[in-house]
C-alpha cells in the first residue's frame, strides 16, 4: 500500500543494480581541513572534479570512435567487408555500388550522433561553467561549477539546483530542514524534506560554517538514489563525536531547493561520481520478436548468398576446364592474371560472386526499418485519443524499437492500484473497537467544520471506548509522513489551515496517507504541521495539541507497516503503528480483534483498501531501549537496512489494536471495457498487486477480469494450510485439464464464449513456495511446470500480496515458459518498475505515484484505458506494417538478384553484372524505397474503428503469424518466380535459336541491334514496375501520399533512366548506358514485352490472394469483405470508405 516508497525503492533498485557491497569507503574533509593529528590516519584519495561529461566524443576522437561504434553493428560490418573486398579485388561492380549506400548510412548516422553530441557538449559546458557559491576562509566565493571539489562547502539558494551530491549542514530554517523537489531526477514533483546534521544545524553564517572541523566517512559512490550511509566525525570538542548520516541528509545533484532561503552543504560526490551521473547508464536493450525473425531470415539469406557464390564458382571452373572457353583468342588474360595461383583465383572468383550477389541483403533495409520505427512511433504520440485532458499528458514513446511488439502481446501483467484503479483515494469509514464512523459530506479536500460531520452508526460508545476513539484519531493524525504544503504567503502557515481555507494542502508520496489525514480532518482532527520536531494537531475543541516526534519507523513493503514514537504534552510516550491487517494482527496482544477483523474483511470484500491501527504505550525505560536499538542500527555502515529491519521487528510488538480504516480507490474509467477487449483479443490478463486477496478479487470482479461464470481456483496460504501444496497443485491441474482436453481448439478459434473460464488466485507466499527450489527431490521442477500448466488454462490470474520483486519473477517465469509468450507489463508505481523492465514490453502509467514507472517504461500512457487503442490499433497496425516491410524487402531483393544469378549461366560465369552500376546502386536507395517506407507508415488494412470494436481481430496476427516460415518461403518463392519470368522472358525475346531460327527481335524499324546493357535494362524496368505494383496490390489504404510515392517513384525511375542515358557523363569512364533506355522505349516489342512480363509476374500472387480469400478467409479478410458489402449502406463508420465505390477496380 505504500506509505513511504523509499525503502521499497531501495529494494527494487538493489535488485536492479545487483547486490554490491561497497566495502570501500571514502573520507571527506569538510572545508578541506585536515583532521587533527592523532585521529586515524586516512589515506587522502583523489576525487574527480565536478565536471560532468555526458558527451561521448571529443573533437579529435569523433571520427575514429564513431566509426568504431558504427561498425560494431553486424550489418554495417558486413557491408564494410563487401566494400573492402570490392576495393581490393577486381570485382564485377564498382565499389561505389556498395560504398555509396554505406557511406550515406554511416554519414547520416554520424551527423546525427555528432549533432546530439554537440548539443551534449553545449549542455555540459553550460552546466560546468555555471557559477556556484563556495565558502572559503569564511567568505563566499563564486566558482565555476566544474572547479568544485569534494569537501568544499557550498551555499545554495532557493530555486537553485544542487551542483553535486551534498551533505546538508545547515539551512535557513531553524529546524535545520530544507525542501527539495526531485522532479528532474525521478519525476516526483512533491517536495521532500531533508534534514541537516543535528550538530551543525545552528551554523548559519559563512564564518560559522568555516569553523566546522569535521570529516565525513561514507561509502564510495553508487547509483542507488535512495540509499546512502555515512558518518560524520566532529573534532571541535576535545572528544571526537560521530553522528550517523543517511539518505535524509544527502542532497542529490539535479534536485532543486524549494521553500528554503538558503542552505550550507558539503560536497561529497562530484562530477561523474554523483548519483545522477551514475544513474544514466543505458538500459538493457529489448528486442522485438519481429527483429528476431528478421535476423533469422538474414541468416537464411546469407546462406543462400554463400551457396549461390559457391555454386557459381564451382560451375565456373567446370565450364572453364576447356581452355578454348577459358581463354579464347578474342578474350585473353593478362600475364599477371595467368600467373596467379588457381586457389587464389578461385577464392577471388568466390568473393567476386559474393559481391555480385550481396545486394540480396540490402543496407537500406536496416535504414528503412529504423526509419519506420522512429517515424511510426510519432503516431502514438500524436494520437488524440490517447491524450488525457485531465492530466494534460499524451502518450510517450521511450523506445521505438518495440512498436510491432505491441501487436504480439499474449500476456498482460497489470498492477492494480493506480493502474486499474484511479489511485484517487477517498476515506470511506473507520472502525474503532467495532464502532463504525463515516464522514458525511465528501467535498474534495474541503474541510468541513466541527464534529457534526461525524456519524456513528453503532450504539454510542462508553467512556472506555471514548478514550480509544480519541487515541485512534490521534494515531492517524500522527502516524504518517505527510507534509503540509504552504502557499507562498507570508503568514499563510499560521492562518491557512486554521481558517479552513485550502491555502495549504497535504502532500505525500502515498495517496492513502493523504486520504487518511484528510479523512481525520473531516472527523474533526486536523494535522497542522511538523515544527521543531513537534507535530501539531487541531482537535475538535479547536485546541492545538503538540506531540514531540521522537522516531519514525518508515514504511517498507516487507513489513507492510509503519510506526511513529511520540511524546504527548503530558509526557506519555506512545508508539503508534498502522499497517496491513496481516502485518498488524499477529502482533496484537489485546483489543477487540474479532470485531475489527470482521469489519476489515467486510470492507475488503467491498473492494476497499483497509489499514489497521494499533498502539503501544512505552515507559521511559522501554523508550531508552528502543533508542539504543535504533541508534545502533542507524550508525552501522554496512547492512544498515537489515539491522534496522531487525530493530523495527523488536520494537513493533505487544500492540493494542485500536481500529481499522477503509479507503476507496475507484476503478479507472473504462478499465472493465479495456480488460474485456484484451480478453477477446486472446490476451491473458494477470493482475499483480500487493493488496490483500479480498480487495483485489473485488476489483477483479468489478473490472470484469473475473465474470460471474468464471470458476475461481484458489492457490492461497489458507488452502495450503489445509492440504499440502503438492496436493493442491495436483487437484487444480486435474480440474483444469479435465476441461482442457476437448476444447483446446475453441480457445483459439473464435470467441471463447460458452466454455468455462478459469480464474486463478494465488498469493505471494504460496507463489514463492511454488517457485522455491526445494532441496529434497526433483519434484520442485514439477511444481513450476504444474503451476504453469494451470496458468495456461486460466484466462485470468490474480496474484495478490506480491512484493515488487515477485512481480518481476512472475513475468520472468512466464517469459521463460516453453511457448516463450510475449509479455506486457503495465504499472504506475515504483514497485512496478522491476516488472516493467522485465517484460517484453513495459508500459508506464503517468500516475500519481511519481514518474518512475513512466520513466523506466518503453511506452507511457496517461490512463489504463489507452492500452486498448495502443495494442488493438497501434500494435496491430505496426505489426502488419513491419511484417510486410520485412517480407517485401527480402522479396524485392530476390527479384533483383536472382536474374543476375541466372545470367551467370549465359556469360560463362564471368561475374558479368546484368544491370548497370547506377541501377545496382539506386534500386534499393531510391527506385523502390519510398513506397514501402510510406506503406509501412500509413497502411491500414482495416479501419481503426473496426479494430477497436472487434478485438478478436488481434488473434489473426498472434504468434508472429505473418512472419512464420511458410509465409517467408511463399514470399521467397514468389520472388524467385518473378525473377525467372523476368529473366527468361527477356532471354527468349533476345535469343534467336531457341524458337525456330528466327529474327532479331526487339528491334526497331531501323533494325538496330541491342546489346547486353539493353537486356539488363529491360529486365530492370520490368523488375521495378513489378515490385512496385506488387506493393500497390498489397496496399489497402490508398491516401494521396501512397499515390504520390508509388507513381512518383515509377516516374522518377523513368526520368532518371532517360537522363542517365541521355547525356555523355564526363565523370564516368564508360558510357555503356548512353541512349540504351531511349532506344529500348522506341521499340514496340519492348513495350509489349514489358507489359506482358509485368502481368505474368503479378498473376500468381493475385490469384493466390483471391482464391485464399474466397476459400480460406481469415477473420480480417471476412471483415474486409463484409465492410465492402456495407459500403452502399450509409454508416458513419464507413464514411471514409465510400470513395471506394467510385474508384473500385
Residue 1120 near other proteins by CB under 8 A: yes
Cβ-Cβ contacts under 8 Å for 1137 (sequence gap 6 or more) = 943, 1123, 1127
215 closest CA partner among 174, 268, 270: 268
How many other C-beta atoms can be found within 10 angstroms of the C-beta atom of residue 284? 6
Q: Considering only 402-410, 692-700, 960-968, 1034-1042, which stretch makes contact with other proteins by CB under 8 A?
A: 1034-1042
Interface residue with other proteins among 48, 95, 114, 187 (CB under 8 A) is 187
Phi, psi angle pair for 1036, to nearest 5°: -105, -5
Q: Considering only 112-120, 148-156, 527-535, 819-827, which stretch makes contact with other proteins by CB under 8 A?
A: 112-120
Q: Give me Rg for the CA atoms of the chain.
A: 37
Set of cell numbers at residue 732: 487444480
How many other C-beta atoms can be found within 10 angstroms of the C-beta atom of residue 683? 24
Interface residue with other proteins among 61, 495, 1113, 1133 (CB under 8 A) is 1113
Length in residues, the chain? 1145
Nearer to other proteins, 370 or 950 (CB): 950
Residue 59 near other proteins by CB under 8 A: no
- Active-site residue, from 415, 556, 665, 978: 415
Cβ-Cβ contacts under 8 Å for 726 (sequence gap 6 or more) = 779, 783
- Window 89-108: residues binding other proteins (CB under 8 A): 92
How many other C-beta atoms can be found within 10 angstroms of the C-beta atom of residue 1003? 16
Residue 997 near other proteins by CB under 8 A: yes
Q: How far apart are CA 627 and CA 631, in angstroms?
A: 6
Interface residue with other proteins among 747, 910, 926, 1114 (CB under 8 A) is 910
**DSSP label of 258:** E
Nearer to other proteins, 193 or 1120 (CB): 1120
Q: Are 1120 and 943 in contact (CB under 8 A)?
A: no
* Residue 760, strand partner residues: 713, 797
Nearer to other proteins, 460 or 996 (CB): 996
Q: Considering only 128-136, 647-655, 770-778, 992-1000, which stretch makes contact with other proteins by CB under 8 A?
A: 992-1000
Nearer to other proteins, 375 or 636 (CB): 375
Set of cell numbers at residue 950: 472487434
Q: How far is the CB of 439 from other proteins (least distance, A)?
A: 27
Q: How far is the CB of 670 from other proteins (least distance, A)?
A: 19
396 closest CA partner among 412, 411, 377, 409: 377
Residue 907 near other proteins by CB under 8 A: yes
Residue 1000 near other proteins by CB under 8 A: yes
Residue 746 near other proteins by CB under 8 A: no
Interface residue with other proteins among 1102, 1128, 1131, 1133 (CB under 8 A) is 1102
**DSSP label of 597:** H
Q: How far is the CB of 555 from other proteins (least distance, A)?
A: 24
Interface residue with other proteins among 990, 1020, 1053, 1077 (CB under 8 A) is 990
How many other C-beta atoms can be found within 10 angstroms of the C-beta atom of residue 283? 13
Nearer to other proteins, 215 or 921 (CB): 921
Phi, psi angle pair for 276, to nearest 5°: -65, -45
Q: Considering only 625-633, 774-782, 885-893, 901-909, which stretch makes contact with other proteins by CB under 8 A?
A: 901-909
Q: How far is the CB of 986 from other proteins (least distance, A)?
A: 8
Please identify which residue in the block is written with the cell numbers 576522437. Answer: 61
Nearer to other proteins, 174 or 991 (CB): 991
Set of cell numbers at residue 579: 499497517
Q: Considering only 402-410, 470-478, 701-709, 1108-1116, which stretch makes contact with other proteins by CB under 8 A?
A: 1108-1116
Set of cell numbers at residue 91: 570485382
Q: Considering only 147-155, 499-507, 864-872, 906-914, which stretch makes contact with other proteins by CB under 8 A?
A: 906-914
Q: Are 1050 and 1025 in contact (CB under 8 A)?
A: yes
Q: How far is CA 1077 from CA 635, 1054, 1069, in A?
A: 86, 9, 19
Interface residue with other proteins among 324, 499, 570, 709 (CB under 8 A) is 324
Residue 1118 near other proteins by CB under 8 A: yes
- Window 817-876: residues binding other proteins (CB under 8 A): 851, 855
Interface residue with other proteins among 1121, 1128, 1131, 1133 (CB under 8 A) is 1121
Set of cell numbers at residue 60: 579529435
Residue 335 near other proteins by CB under 8 A: yes
Residue 1033 near other proteins by CB under 8 A: yes
Binding mask 140-179 for other proteins (x = CB under 8 A): ----------------------------------------
Q: Considering only 52-60, 231-239, 601-609, 881-889, which stretch makes contact with other proteins by CB under 8 A?
A: 52-60
Residue 1036 near other proteins by CB under 8 A: yes
599 closest CA partner among 430, 464, 456, 465: 430
Residue 331 near other proteins by CB under 8 A: yes
Nearer to other proteins, 238 or 334 (CB): 334
Nearer to other proteins, 590 or 1000 (CB): 1000
Q: How far apart are CA 559 and CA 645, in angstroms?
A: 8
- Window 874-893: residues binding other proteins (CB under 8 A): 877
What three-state secondary structure class fits 406? helix
Q: How far is CA 465 from CA 431, 471, 472, in A?
A: 12, 10, 10
Q: How far is the CB of 479 from other proteins (least distance, A)?
A: 27
Q: How far apart are CA 404 and CA 373, in angstroms?
A: 9
Please identify which residue in the block is written with the cell numbers 547486353. Answer: 1012
Q: How far is the CB of 734 from other proteins (least distance, A)?
A: 33
- Window 943-982: residues binding other proteins (CB under 8 A): 943-944, 949-950, 952
Q: Considering only 24-32, 366-374, 382-390, 1047-1055, which stretch makes contact with other proteins by CB under 8 A?
A: 382-390
Interface residue with other proteins among 906, 970, 1052, 1056 (CB under 8 A) is 906
Q: Which long-range contacts (CB under 8 A, 24 or more apart) does 565-572 make?
A: 565/618, 565/623, 565/626, 566/478, 566/535, 569/545, 572/617
Residue 1037 near other proteins by CB under 8 A: yes
Whether 415 sits among the annotated catalytic residues: the reply is yes
Q: How far is the CB of 146 from other proteins (least distance, A)?
A: 16
* CA dihedral over 1065, 1066, 1068, 1072, signed as positive or negative: positive
Q: How far is the CB of 179 from other proteins (least distance, A)?
A: 14
Nearer to other proteins, 292 or 333 (CB): 333
* CA dihedral over 301, 306, 309, 315, signed as positive or negative: negative
Interface residue with other proteins among 1038, 1054, 1056, 1114 (CB under 8 A) is 1038
Helices (H), 636-743: 640-651, 671-680, 693-702, 717-722, 725-740
Which H or E run includes 972? helix 965-990
- Window 1070-1099: residues binding other proteins (CB under 8 A): 1070-1072, 1074-1075, 1079, 1083-1085, 1088-1089, 1092, 1095-1096, 1099
Residue 668 near other proteins by CB under 8 A: no
Tell the burial category of 442 from Cβ atoms under 10 Å away from its Cβ (0-12, 13-18, 19+).
middle
Q: Are 858 and 399 in contact (CB under 8 A)?
A: yes
- Window 224-283: residues binding other proteins (CB under 8 A): 254, 280-283
Interface residue with other proteins among 185, 713, 794, 922 (CB under 8 A) is 185
Residue 325 near other proteins by CB under 8 A: yes
Interface residue with other proteins among 21, 284, 334, 499 (CB under 8 A) is 334
- Give the sheet arrangement for strand 241-246, strand by strand: 25-29, 214-219, 229-234, 241-246
Q: Indicate which residues carry an active-site annotation.
A: 415
Amino acid at each position: 500500500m505504500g506509505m513511504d516508497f523509499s525503502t521499497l525503492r531501495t529494494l527494487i533498485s538493489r535488485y536492479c543494480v545487483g547486490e554490491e557491497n561497497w566495502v570501500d569507503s571514502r573520507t571527506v574533509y569538510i572545508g578541506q581541513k585536515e583532521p587533527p593529528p592523532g585521529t586515524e590516519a586516512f589515506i587522502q584519495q583523489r576525487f574527480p572534479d565536478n565536471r560532468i561529461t555526458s558527451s561521448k566524443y571529443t573533437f579529435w576522437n569523433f571520427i575514429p570512435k564513431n566509426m568504431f561504434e558504427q561498425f560494431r553493428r553486424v550489418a554495417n560490418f558486413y557491408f564494410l567487408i563487401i566494400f573492402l573486398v570490392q576495393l581490393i579485388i577486381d570485382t564485377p561492380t564498382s565499389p561505389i555500388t556498395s560504398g555509396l549506400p554505406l557511406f550515406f548510412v554511416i554519414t547520416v548516422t554520424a551527423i546525427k550522433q555528432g549533432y546530439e553530441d554537440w548539443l551534449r557538449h553545449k549542455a555540459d559546458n553550460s552546466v560546468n561553467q555555471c557559477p556556484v557559491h563556495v565558502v572559503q576562509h569564511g567568505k563566499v566565493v563564486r566558482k565555476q561549477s566544474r572547479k568544485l571539489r569534494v569537501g568544499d562547502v557550498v551555499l545554495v539558494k532557493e530555486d537553485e539546483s544542487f551542483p553535486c551530491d551534498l551533505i546538508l549542514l545547515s539551512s535557513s530554517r531553524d529546524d535545520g530542514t530544507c525542501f527539495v523537489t526531485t522532479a528532474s531526477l525521478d519525476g516526483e514533483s512533491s517536495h521532500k524534506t531533508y534534514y541537516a546534521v543535528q550538530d551543525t544545524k545552528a551554523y548559519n553564517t559563512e564564518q560559522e560554517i568555516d569553523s566546522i572541523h569535521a570529516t565525513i566517512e561514507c561509502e564510495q559512490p553508487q547509483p542507488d538514489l535512495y540509499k546512502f550511509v555515512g558518518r560524520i566525525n566532529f573534532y571541535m570538542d576535545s572528544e571526537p563525536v560521530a553522528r550517523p548520516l543517511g539518505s535524509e541528509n544527502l542532497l542529490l545533484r539535479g534536485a532543486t531547493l524549494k521553500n528554503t532561503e538558503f542552505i550550507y552543504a558539503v560536497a561529497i560526490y562530484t562530477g561523474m561520481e554523483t548519483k545522477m551521473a551514475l544513474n544514466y547508464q543505458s538500459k538493457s536493450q529489448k528486442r522485438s520478436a519481429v527483429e528476431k525473425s528478421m535476423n533469422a531470415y538474414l541468416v537464411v539469406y546469407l546462406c543462400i548468398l554463400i551457396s549461390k557464390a559457391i555454386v557459381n564458382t564451382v560451375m565456373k571452373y567446370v565450364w572453364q576446364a576447356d581452355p578454348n572457353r577459358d581463354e579464347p583468342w578474342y578474350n585473353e588474360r593478362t600475364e599477371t592474371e595467368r600467373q596467379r595461383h588457381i586457389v587464389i583465383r578461385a577464392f577471388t572468383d568466390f568473393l567476386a560472386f559474393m559481391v555480385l550477389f550481396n545486394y540480396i541483403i540490402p543496407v537500406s533495409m536496416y535504414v528503412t526499418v529504423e526509419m519506420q520505427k522512429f517515424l511510426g512511433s510519432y503516431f502514438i504520440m500524436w494520437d488524440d485519443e490517447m491524450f488525457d485532458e485531465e492530466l494534460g499528458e499524451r502518450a510517450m514513446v521511450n523506445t521505438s524499437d518495440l512498436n510491432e511488439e505491441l501487436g504480439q502481446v499474449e500476456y498482460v501483467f497489470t498492477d492494480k492500484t493506480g493502474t486499474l484503479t484511479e489511485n484517487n483515494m477517498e476515506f470511506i469509514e473507520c472502525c474503532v473497537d467495532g464502532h463504525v464512523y463515516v464522514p458525511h459530506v465528501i467535498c474534495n479536500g474541503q474541510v468541513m467544520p466541527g464534529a457534526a460531520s461525524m456519524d456513528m452508526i453503532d450504539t454510542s460508545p462508553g467512556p472506555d471506548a471514548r478514550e480509544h476513539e480519541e487515541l485512534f484519531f490521534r494515531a492517524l493524525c500522527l502516524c504518517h509522513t505527510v507534509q503540509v504544503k504552504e502557499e507562498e504567503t507570508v503568514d499563510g502557515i499560521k492562518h491557512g489551515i486554521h481558517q479552513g481555507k485550502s491555502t495549504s494542502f497535504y502532500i505525500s508520496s502515498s495517496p492513502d496517507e493523504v486520504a487518511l489525514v484528510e479523512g481525520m480532518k473531516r472527523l474533526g482532527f486536523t494535522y497542522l504541521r511538523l515544527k521543531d520536531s513537534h507535530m501539531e494537531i487541531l482537535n475538535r475543541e479547536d485546541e492545538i495539541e503538540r506531540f514531540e516526534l521522537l522516531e519514525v519507523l518508515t514504511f517498507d513493503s516487507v513489513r507492510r507497516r509503519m510506526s511513529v514514537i511520540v511524546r504527548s504534552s503530558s509526557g506519555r510516550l506512545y508508539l503508534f503503528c498502522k499497517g496491513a491487517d496481516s502485518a498488524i494482527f499477529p502482533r496484537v496482544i489485546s483489543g477487540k480483534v474479532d470485531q475489527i477483523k470482521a469489519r476489515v474483511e467486510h470492507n475488503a470484500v467491498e473492494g476497499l483498501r483497509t489499514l489497521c491501527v494499533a498502539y503501544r504505550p512505552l515507559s521511559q525505560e522501554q523508550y531508552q531501549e528502543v533508542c539504543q536499538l535504533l541508534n545502533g542500527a542507524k550508525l552501522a555502515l554496512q547492512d544498515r537496512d537489515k539491522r534496522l529491519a531487525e530493530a523495527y521487528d523488536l520494537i513493533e510488538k505487544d500492540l493494542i489494536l485500536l481500529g481499522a480504516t477503509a479507503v476507496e480507490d475507484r476503478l479507472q474509467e473504462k478499465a472493465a471495457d479495456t480488460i474485456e477487449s484484451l480478453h477477446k483479443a486472446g490476451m491473458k490478463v494477470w493482475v499483480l498487486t500487493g493488496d490483500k486477496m479480498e480487495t483485489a478479487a473485488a476489483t477483479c470482479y468489478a473490472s470484469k477480469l473475473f465474470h460471474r461464470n468464471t470458476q475461481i481456483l484458489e492457490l492461497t496460504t489458507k488452502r495450503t494450510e489445509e492440504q499440502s501444496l503438492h496436493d493442491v497443485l495436483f487437484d487444480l491441474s486435474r480440474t483444469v485439464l479435465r476441461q482442457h482436453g476437448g476444447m483446446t481448439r475453441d480457445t483459439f478459434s473464435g470467441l471463447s464464449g460458452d466454455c468455462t473460464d478459469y480464474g486463478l488466485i494465488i498469493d505471494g507466499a504460496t507463489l514463492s513456495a511454488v517457485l522455491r527450489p526445494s532441496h529434497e527431490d526433483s519434484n520442485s521442477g514439477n511444481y513450476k511446470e504444474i503451476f504453469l500448466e494451470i496458468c495456461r488454462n486460466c484466462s485470468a490470474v490474480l496474484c495478490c500480496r506480491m512484493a515488487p520483486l515477485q512481480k518481476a519473477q512472475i513475468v520472468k517465469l512466464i517469459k521463460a515458459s516453453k511457448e516463450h509468450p510475449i509479455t506486457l507489463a503495465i504499472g504506475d508505481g515504483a514497485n512496478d518498475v522491476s516488472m516493467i523492465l522485465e517484460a517484453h514490453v513495459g508500459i508506464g502509467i503517468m500516475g500519481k505515484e511519481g514518474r518512475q514507472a513512466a520513466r523506466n517504461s518503453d511506452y507511457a500512457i496517461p490512463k489504463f484505458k489507452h492500452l486498448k487503442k495502443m495494442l488493438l490499433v497501434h500494435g496491430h497496425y505496426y505489426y502488419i506494417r513491419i511484417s510486410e516491410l520485412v517480407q517485401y524487402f527480402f522479396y524485392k531483393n530476390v527479384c533483383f538478384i536472382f536474374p543476375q544469378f541466372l545470367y551467370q549461366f549465359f556469360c560463362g560465369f564471368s561475374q558479368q553484372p546484368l544491370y548497370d552500376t547506377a541501377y545496382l546502386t539506386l534500386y534499393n536507395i531510391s527506385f523502390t524505397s519510398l513506397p514501402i517506407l510510406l506503406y509501412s507508415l500509413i497502411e491500414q488494412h482495416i479501419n481503426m474503428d473496426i479494430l477497436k470494436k472487434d478485438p478478436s481481430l488481434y488473434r489473426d496476427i498472434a504468434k508472429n503469424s505473418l512472419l512464420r516460415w511458410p509465409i517467408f518461403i511463399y514470399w521467397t518463392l514468389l520472388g524467385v518466380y518473378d525473377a525467372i519470368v523476368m529473366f527468361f522472358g527477356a532471354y527468349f525475346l533476345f535469343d534467336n535459336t531457341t524458337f525456330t531460327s528466327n529474327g532479331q527481335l526487339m528491334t526497331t524499324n531501323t533494325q538496330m541491334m541491342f546489346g547486353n546493357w539493353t537486356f539488363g535494362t529491360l529486365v530492370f524496368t520490368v523488375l521495378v514496375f513489378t515490385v512496385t505494383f506488387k506493393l500497390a496490390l498489397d496496399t489497402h489504404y490508398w491516401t494521396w501520399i501512397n499515390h504520390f510515392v508509388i507513381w512518383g517513384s515509377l516516374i522518377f525511375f523513368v526520368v532518371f533512366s532517360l537522363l542517365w542515358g541521355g547525356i555523355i557523363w564526363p565523370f564516368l569512364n564508360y558510357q555503356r548506358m548512353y541512349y540504351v533506355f531511349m532506344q529500348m522505349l522506341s521499340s514496340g516489342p519492348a513495350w509489349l514485352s514489358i507489359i506482358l512480363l509485368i502481368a505474368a509476374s503479378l498473376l500468381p500472387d493475385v490469384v493466390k490472394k483471391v482464391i485464399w480469400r474466397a476459400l480460406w478467409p481469415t477473420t480480417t479478410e471476412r471483415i474486409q469483405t463484409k465492410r465492402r458489402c456495407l459500403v452502399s449502406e450509409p454508416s458513419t463508420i464507413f464514411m471514409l470508405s465510400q470513395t471506394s465505390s467510385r474508384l473500385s477496380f
